[in-house]
């Protein structure tokens, strides 16, 4: 059974450096309609992107506020460290 659901971009956690690099690359996702894969952080801080940064970048470029995610039920025990990319809750873009 899939745990796929829509999640606001502002509720996702990703490394600031990684997301800025992916956005700057301009690379188009090969799988735009596939849910991104996220882990629940063991520290309870939220949902961390495990796979799908290029799909997130495409959503940001399109001005989306949310994205389809598949949530891994196993907590992430090696979470990203700050600084985190901050998605703008109005347009999806930010720093």
Q: pTM for the full model?
A: 0.84
Residue 92 has pLDDT above 60, yes or no: no
Residue 55 has φ and ψ, to the nearest 5°, of -70, -35
Return d(Cα 38, Cα 14) in angstroms, integer.
10
Integer Cα distance of 2 and 74 in angstroms:
14
* CATH classification number, 5-76, choose in 3.90.1530.10, 1.10.150.120, 1.10.3720.10, 3.40.50.150: 3.90.1530.10
Q: What is the mean pLDDT of residues 29-51?
A: 90
Model confidence band, residue 89 (pLDDT cutoffs 50, 70, 90): low
User: How much is the average pLDDT of 63-79?
Assistant: 88
N- to C-terminal Cα distance for the chain?
Answer: 35
How wide is the angle at C-alpha 45 spanned by C-alphas 42 and 82, nearest 5°?
100
Provide mean pLDDT across the span 44-69: 92
């Amino acid at each position: 059974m899939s745990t796929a659901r829509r999640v606001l971009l502002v509720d996702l956690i990703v490394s600031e450096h990684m997301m800025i690099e992916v956005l700057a690359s301009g690379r188009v996702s090969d799988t735009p309609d596939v849910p991104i894969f996220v882990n629940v952080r063991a520290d309870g801080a939220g949902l961390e992107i495990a796979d799908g940064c290029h799909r997130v970048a495409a959503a940001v470029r399109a001005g989306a506020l949310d994205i389809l995610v598949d949530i891994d039920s196993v907590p992430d025990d090696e979470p990203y460290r700050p600084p985190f990319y901050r998605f703008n809750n109005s347009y999806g873009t930010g720093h």
